[in-house]
Amino acid sequence: MRDLGVGFGYLLKGQRWVARHGRQYRFGLLPGLITLVLYAAALVALAVWGADAVGWATPFADDWPSPWQGLFRGFLTAVLFALGLLLAVLTFTAVTLLVGQPFYESLSERVDADVSSDGAAARSDLPLWRELWISARDSLRVLVRAGVWGVLLFALGFVPFVGQTVVPVIGFFVTGFFLTEELAAVAMQRRGVDLRARLALLRSRKTLVWGFGTPLGLAFLVPFVAVFLMPGAVAGATLLARDLLGEESATETGAPGGRPDPEDVSR
């Protein structure tokens, strides 16, 4: 159970790191803000034209008497919007990381250099387009895995008592696991660790992963919070990745870590 607290500690350390490095934090906000605007526009469009889409998809209900036609199509419109909202929540992190690959890559490298004993950070030799392709491909694979879990938990949700008590808790832990994978992938992909190896590492210390990802997933449920926590989450996931890979950090050996940006100090 100690790992549970260690994982949560990495989450807090990541937020503290970006708080000390204001320039990195401000740059790290940009991808989340861009993704938020795109998702908000998509959801607004869904709210405005969702009813028309449902009407087009259900021509068999054109001749239904009132109020059944309105109730039926209104229900489907609500379901369509709810599914869109759920999809937005599930994919927000992956899309933000994809949009902000250069930003978060730079932030993760800075964290690595800041806490490593020699001030060096692992770097990827792959071109940007290749990194984006790998990131998108792996995110899709993770999303499929998360979707399978989602379907299973949805079905279990109909089991009396268990579905209303145990299943939601399991759902939060599953969300935390996959959220951590997406975030830790920034640092691990730079080290050449592929998806299968990443998942194996995460499974080997699930309580550490849950301690990091589960509270973060709960926080992400609050509107707009994900945008402001993303930079710190990437920083914390980098620290967690170093732990999983057995890399020693300067803060663990007593050396001073977390040095602020010179530009921030000069202000």
**Residues whose CB is less than 8 angstroms from the CB of residue 169 and which lie 6 or more positions away in sequence, other chains included:** none
Distances in Å between the alpha carbon of 87 and those of 42, 55, 167? 11, 22, 19
Residue 14 is predicted with a pLDDT of 94
Most confident of 74-78, 125-129, 176-180: 176-180
Rounded to whole angstroms, the Cα distance separating 213 from 115 reads 21
Phi/psi for 254 (5° steps) reads 95, -5
Helix or strand holding residue 224 (H, E) = none
Q: Has residue 253 got a pLDDT over 50?
A: no
- What are all long-range contacts of 94-98, with beta carbons under 8 Å and residues at least 24 apart? 94/139, 94/142, 94/143, 94/182, 95/35, 95/38, 95/39, 96/31, 96/32, 96/35, 96/226, 96/230, 97/31, 97/135, 97/139, 97/182, 97/183, 97/185, 97/186, 97/234, 98/132, 98/135, 98/136, 98/139
The model's pLDDT over 187-237, given as tens digits with 9 standing for 90+, comes to 898 888 888 999 999 999 999 999 999 999 888 878 678 889 999 999 999
Is the Cβ–Cβ distance between 25 and 16 less than 8 Å?
A: no
Q: Does the pLDDT of residue 265 top 60, yes or no?
A: no
Bond into 231 cis (ω within 30): no
Closest CA to 238 of 107, 139, 144: 107
pLDDT in tens, 16-42: 999 999 888 988 898 889 988 998 899
Distance CA 238, CA 139 (A): 17
Q: Which residues pair with 116 in a beta bridge?
A: 249
Domain ranges of the chain: 2-46+94-246
Q: Which residue has the higher pLDDT, 70 or 250?
A: 70
Q: How confident is the model at residue 126 (pLDDT cuts 50, 70, 90)?
A: low
- CA-CA distances (angstroms) from residue 195 to 52, 104, 147? 40, 18, 17
Whose tokens are 């929540």? That residue is 89
